[in-house]
Chains A and B, each alone.
Chain A
Amino acid sequence: MSFWEYANPKKFLATTEKLMPFLWVSSGVLLVTGLVWGFFFTPDDYRQGSTVKIIYLHVPAALMAINIWFMMLVASLVWIVRRHHVSALAARAAAPIGVVMTVIALVTGAIWGQPMWGTWWEWDPRLTSFLMLFLFYLGYMALWEAIDNPDTAADLTSILCLVGSVFAVLSRYAVNFWNQGLHQGASIMRAGAVTGSDTEEKVSNIFFAPLMVCIAGFVLLFIALVFYRTGTEIRARRIKALQARERVEAA
């Protein structure tokens, strides 16, 4: 029993279908719990007021936007090295989810930035990098759409994903160099944040717990969506194969 057995589409479908109800329910429960807890049962921040609550959408979405690209990178590598179709299809299935997460992060960030920084948009390194990430996602998806042959498309998009990852990291450092920004640094997992011994900028425990629930909900939701969409892609390809066979038999 090895992990690679799931490269068999049939096995993948059978297993994910068993997991699906559990994934949907648990992600739904976690998201509802986290958001309701965060929105209604946490106090307002003493400086930011109630706007701080947008953190429950902003942080998980931003986290997912980056990690989905990373997952696509891994899936692309698996496709290039081991040529498992499920892997390529999973990368394809993840891209639209990633782009939606990026948009959520950008939009909630703008809505949060307006009252806090007094501006919807600022050419801050973090904001700019996310905009770049958005463009990378768009290019990746456009390339998938543009190519008819599925294997060629999988090969080309995988290589684009590899090259794009390198350039995305480069852009990240380049924009950091180019403009120092307003956005605070990563302040959730800073040392001492969990125990509360940290006195500096950090997210306090009251906000921390529902935020973790929200992040877990987003992760599970992403896994559920990727399984679902990959299953759809597999079935779509199967339909194409069946139709092709039918045409051959009719001729």
Chain B
Amino acid sequence: MIALLMRDLKLALRAGGGFGLGLAFFLIVTVLVPFSVGPQSALLDKIAPGVLWLGALLACLLSLDRLLALDWEDGSLDLLATAPLPLESTVTIKALAHWITTGLPLVLAAPVLGVLLNLPGPGYLWLVVSLLLGTPALSVIGTFGAALTVGLKRGGLLLSLLVLPLYVPTLIFGAEVARRGAEGFAVQVPLLMLAGISAASIALLPFASAAVLRVNLR
């Protein structure tokens, strides 16, 4: 398992774009927001948590179609499926590798981008906490979507159509934590819901992803 994780991480690092592109996209989206809604800081600090969450979500989404497609194309996915490691573990590791290369950098970059959007003081902590709890769910859900569309030639758009509705609960609770945190309200309820969604997704979705992958590799 660790070998597989290291392999995926190395591939992401050396093939380029793993860490960089998602982050760059996140930066661009955040920079474009003031251009589209105007630079008034009163407006920006109100929408900052939501914008940062949406940007992170989209950056996560964009990197999904490469998650399994490369391994599918060169056949290593078939090898992984016949390996002694259960396919459920394989997809979990894949999701973990995706989170480390995409989710974690987004979490770390979010406070910096928060400065650009004039995020109020207490918001930073809760933004980071909510992203830290929420992005694993995004990766696991995304892995399910990637497994669904792995064999398709034009899977990219379909992947977005399938995955985005599944992202809704995570987005709602995550953004709610960040928003309440920024406005200084109690965050406990949405925070617990967000943690629950993440935990349940991580526990259950790999089984669905593996089942789907088996069908696609048949």
Contact = CB atoms under 8 A, between A and B. Distances in A.
B169 A143 contact: no
B193 A177 contact: yes
Given A159-B208, A174-B173, A146 B168 contact: no
Contacts of B165: 132, 135-136, 139, 164, 167-168, 171
Interface size class of A (residues with CB under 8 A): 20 to 34
Contacts of A178: 172, 176
B106 interface: no
Interface in B62-118: none
Interface string A57-82: 00000000000000000000000000
Taking each of A138, A142, A156, which has the highest tally of chain B beta carbons within 10 Å of its own beta carbon? A156
A137 to B, nearest CB: 10
A167 B162 contact: no
A212 interface: no
Taking each of B172, B190, B197, B208, which has the highest tally of chain A beta carbons within 10 Å of its own beta carbon? B172
Contact of A163 (B152, B169, B205): B205
B32 interface: no
Interface in B136-156: 144, 148-149, 151-152, 154-155
A168 B205 CA distance: 15
A interface, over-half SS = helix
A160 B173 contact: no
Contacts of A135: 161, 164-165
Contacts of B164: 135
A182 to B, nearest CB: 19
B216 A159 contact: no
A242 interface: no
B158 A171 contact: no
B163 to A, nearest CB: 9
A209 B33 CA distance: 52
Interface residues of B, number: 29
Contacts of A162: 208
Interface string A137-166: 011001100110000100110011011100
Contacts of B189: 177
Interface string B168-208: 11001100100000000000011001000100000001001
Nearest to A152: B215
Contact of A142 (B158, B168, B211): B158
Interface in B22-59: none
B11 interface: no
A171 B205 contact: no
A174 B169 contact: yes
B144 A170 contact: no
Contacts of A138: 161
B153 to A, nearest CB: 9
A167 B169 contact: yes
B166 interface: yes
B85 to A, nearest CB: 21
Q: Can you list the 4 inter-chain pairs with the closest CB atoms, starting with the nearest? A: A174-B169, A170-B169, A155-B215, A174-B172
Interface of A: 132, 135-136, 138-139, 142-143, 146-147, 152, 155-156, 159-160, 162-164, 167-168, 170-171, 173-175, 177-178
Interface of B: 144, 148-149, 151-152, 154-155, 158, 161-162, 164-166, 168-169, 172-173, 176, 189-190, 193, 197, 205, 208, 211-212, 215-216, 218
16 contacts: A132-B165, A135-B165, A143-B162, A146-B154, A152-B216, A152-B218, A155-B212, A155-B215, A159-B148, A159-B212, A163-B166, A163-B208, A164-B166, A167-B166, A167-B168, A174-B169
